[in-house]
Amino acid sequence: MTEWFQGTLGYGLGWFTATLILILMIALPLMLAVAMIIYADRKIWAAMALRRGPNVVGPFGLLQSFADGLKVFLKETIIPSSANRGLFLLAPIITFTLALIGWAVIPFGPDMVLANINVGLLYILAVSSLSVYGVIIAGWASASKYPFYSALRAAAQMVSYEVSVGFVLIAVIIWSGTFNLQGIIEAQRSHVWIINGFGFNPLLFPMSVIFFISALAETARAPFDLTEAESELVAGFQTEYSSMSFALFWLGEYGNVLLMCGLNATLFWGGWLPPIDWAPLYAVPGIFWFFAKILIFFFIFSWVKATVPRFRYDQLMRLGWKIFLPISLLWVFLVSGYMLATKQQCPADRSILTRITTEEEADRYMPSCRTGMTNLRSGRLAAGAQS
Amino acid sequence: MIQAAAFYLFATIVIASGVMTIASRNPVHSVLWLILAFFNAAGLMLLLGAEFIAMLLVIVYVGAVAVLFLFVVMMLDVDFAEMRAGFAKYLPFGTLLAIVLLAEIVFAIAAWNAGSIATGVRAAPTNAAVPNIEALGTVLYTRYLYIFEGAGLVLLVAMIGAIVLTQRTRSGVRPQNVSAQVRRRPEDATRNVNQPVGQGVEL
């Protein structure tokens, strides 16, 4: 599509238009998905509590989210008189925007990714570590004590769980050898015999569980929803918000939940790959498998929300620092040790090392790779490396 | 053209938010401007093709360091009158620092113009086809392995030092002992008593 636009509109403008359309093709369905996922969340929660859930607006209550959105839209925006006006309005916008931009690097299919960048996973980590700002700024700018407590809790909680998420990602990166999300998905093809997905590997399965639980904590979902614990903090950081600014928080929160579900599916369960590497399954478009995996994960998120009681704050910190951090650290050692023991330690043939140019240097830095070095040098020359 | 426009946009915002960091009255606003400066510096790194450094800047500085800054500054109760009283006292020292920094920038620009960067490029040739994470990793884990591990060791010592310095044993706290709670069986807490009628229970 980009080429077609560049052909008709010129290089720069064509690229700009095509990218804009692609962004809209992700963002608009995402908003619709968020509306439906809020409905699904309420329905699943209701079913587990033996209630009916929303069933009045539209068939089976399907239009409930849109009715809620319309209602919120028509309310008055109230800004507390002592609030810091600019930051107060900025906070929901930050939350909402960050929930959207993470999707830029998520691959929906073999060629369906907006930005296929080298550092895709780091980008995701950066976006998820930024999302705490929406909450902190909201809590501080409200000039009210409950939102402020909530902001402090959110800051501590997200920083704690970011650490174990980082180690889980390192294990995945070590195994797949790349930060690129498409590369990570490709590395999962036929990972265990003919099954696609790192999660089916006994060595990586515990990491996928830790990642799932940390994802719950990162998105402040139950049982880690201390930031908006209604029995202690009214509505947490969004206590003072009303109308559209409240709705933006709501949309951003569920957008983040979907992103985390997508990330779970991408990192451990094969992303757009079908579960089994068997030709007929590839007849189904990859995007279908990806959405199916997201929905399964969302169901588990809702399931947890409906069944698990909220953690106490010290228990939350204990879980993050005293249990997840040591386990994930140990697991990084295990995974890298396994890789070291089984995989080729020396650089592959034709790989290009920037600093090693002579045999003596190769001897000094990689003594066990003596035989591979000639290949290395010829590969280096073949690739036309400058020195 | 687009790159030049992006460069001027990022550079302008970095400088403007740097100025706002020291000009804002409210310390929380200062931290937020600082975050904006970090963020746009990451944009500049991206323009240089150093995507790994850019992402690290966002993850480490914006995502972790600045969050802790904000955390501390939000809870401070700063007295602005007192801060202004110290202004005259610290003025000579501040001026000295500013002059040193200015001189360094002038030297750096002069060195850049003299073309000494080229020697750096010759000393450490990089291949444009290799992603810069791979290039950095290759260099860090081969040629600079000991220096890299030394840096890691310094950080470890700093971390242990921070924990040791801030640790204090408090009396009178009753922390939760999860394993004791899990180990507790019904027999430990209850007992069956064949209680005769008309007598009180001895517990």
Encode pLDDT of B30-62 as tens digits: 888 988 899 899 888 888 877 888 888 888 888
Q: Which residues of A59-96 are buried (b: 16+ CB within 10 A; e: fewer)?
A: eebebbbeebbeebeeeeeebbeebbeebbbbbbebbb
What is the C-alpha end-to-end distance of chain A, expressed in Å?
39
Task: Give the pLDDT score at B151.
Answer: 94
A96 CA: distance to closest CA in chain B (Å):
17
- Both tokens assigned to B72: 């501390």
Cβ contact (<8 Å) for A352 and B130?
yes
List CB contacts of A143: < 8 A, sequence separation 6 or more: A80, A82, A83, A84
Task: Give the pLDDT score at A192.
Answer: 77
Is residue A272 within 8 A of residue A289, CB to CB? The reply is: yes
Contact with chain B for residue A126, Cβ under 8 A: yes
Task: Give the pLDDT score at A376.
Answer: 46
Q: Which of A375, A194, A376, A210 is nearest to A275 (CA)?
A: A194
Task: Find which of A318, A354, A376 to mutate to test the B interface (most B CBs within 10 Å of its CB).
Answer: A354
| DSSP result, B4-46 | HHHHHHHHHHHHHHHHHHHH-SSHHHHHHHHHHHHHHHHHHHH
Exposed / middle / buried, residue B55 (Cβ in 10 Å: 0-12, 13-18, 19+):
buried
Q: Which residue carries 């960067």 as its tokens?
A: B117
Task: Give the pLDDT score at B121.
Answer: 59
What is the mean pLDDT of the segment spanning B158-184?
A: 87
Task: Give the pLDDT score at B164.
Answer: 92
CA pseudo-torsion sign A79, A85, A88, A89 = positive
Query: Chain A partners of B34 at a C-beta cutoff of 8 Å?
Result: none
Cα pseudo-dihedral A88, A92, A93, A94, rounded to 10: 100
Q: Which of B148, B139, B128, B119 is nearest to A354 (CA)?
A: B139
pLDDT by 10s per residue, chain A, length 387: 677 777 777 777 888 888 888 888 888 998 899 989 999 999 999 999 999 888 888 888 888 888 888 888 888 888 888 888 888 888 899 989 988 888 988 888 887 888 888 888 888 888 888 888 888 888 888 888 888 888 888 878 887 888 888 899 888 888 887 788 888 888 888 777 788 888 888 888 888 999 999 888 888 887 888 777 777 777 778 888 888 888 888 888 898 899 999 999 998 888 888 888 887 878 888 888 899 999 999 999 999 988 988 888 888 888 888 889 999 999 999 988 888 777 655 555 445 454 455 555 555 555 555 444 444 444 444 444 443
Task: Find which of A130, A165, A350 to mutate to test the B interface (most B CBs within 10 Å of its CB).
Answer: A130
Task: Give the pLDDT score at A354.
Answer: 47
- Both tokens assigned to A125: 């980590």
Cα pseudo-dihedral A24, A28, A31, A35, rounded to 10: -170
Distance of alpha carbon A153 from alpha carbon A323, whole angstroms: 19
Cβ contact (<8 Å) for B68 and A117?
no
Task: Give the pLDDT score at A294.
Answer: 92
- Both tokens assigned to B168: 């204090």
Sketch the domain layout of chain A as residue ranges: 75-343
Task: Give the pLDDT score at A372.
Answer: 46
pLDDT grade for B71, boundaries at 50, 70 and 90? confident
Closest residue on chain A to B2 (Cα): A12
Task: Give the pLDDT score at A299.
Answer: 93
Taking an 8 Å Cβ-Cβ cutoff, which residues of chain B contact chain A? 1-2, 28, 32, 35, 51-52, 55-56, 58-59, 62-64, 67-68, 70-71, 74-75, 124-127, 129-133, 135, 138-139, 142-143, 145, 176, 178
Task: Give the pLDDT score at B127.
Answer: 61
Task: Give the pLDDT score at A194.
Answer: 81
Distance of alpha carbon A269 from alpha carbon A265, whole angstroms: 5
Distance of alpha carbon A128 from alpha carbon B59, whole angstroms: 9
Task: Give the pLDDT score at A298.
Answer: 92
Query: Chain A partners of B132 at a C-beta cutoff of 8 Å?
Result: 118
Q: For B184, what's the count of Cα atoms within 13 Å in the CB-facing half-sphere?
A: 8
Q: What is the ipTM of this complex?
A: 0.73
Q: Is the pLDDT of residue B117 over 60?
A: no
Mean pLDDT of chain B: 82
What is the mean pLDDT of the segment spanning B118-128?
A: 58
Task: Give the pLDDT score at B124.
Answer: 56
| DSSP result, A210-262 | HHHHHHHHHTT-TTS-GGG-HHHHTTGGGTT--HHHHHHHHHHHHHHHHHHHH
Length of chain A: 387
Query: Which of A119, A133, A366 lies at the smallest CB-CB distance from B51?
Result: A119
Q: Could you read off the pLDDT of B187-203 as tens digits, one per residue?
A: 888 888 888 888 877 76
Task: Give the pLDDT score at B93.
Answer: 86
Query: Which of A12, A119, A137 lies at the smallest CB-CB distance from B52?
Result: A119
Q: Whole-model pTM above 0.90? A: no
Query: Chain B partners of A354 at a C-beta cutoff of 8 Å?
Result: 124-127, 130, 135, 138-139
Is residue A282 within 8 A of residue A274, CB to CB? The reply is: yes
Q: Which residue carries 């925007």 as its tokens?
A: A97
C-alpha distances in angstroms, A226 versus A5, B52, B63, B162?
Answer: 48, 33, 20, 28
- Both tokens assigned to B7: 């460069």
The neighbour count for residue A345, using CB atoms within 10 Å, is 12
pLDDT grade for B99, boundaries at 50, 70 and 90? very high
Task: Give the pLDDT score at B116.
Answer: 52
Contact with chain B for residue A362, Cβ under 8 A: no
Q: Which residue carries 């995996």 as its tokens?
A: A293
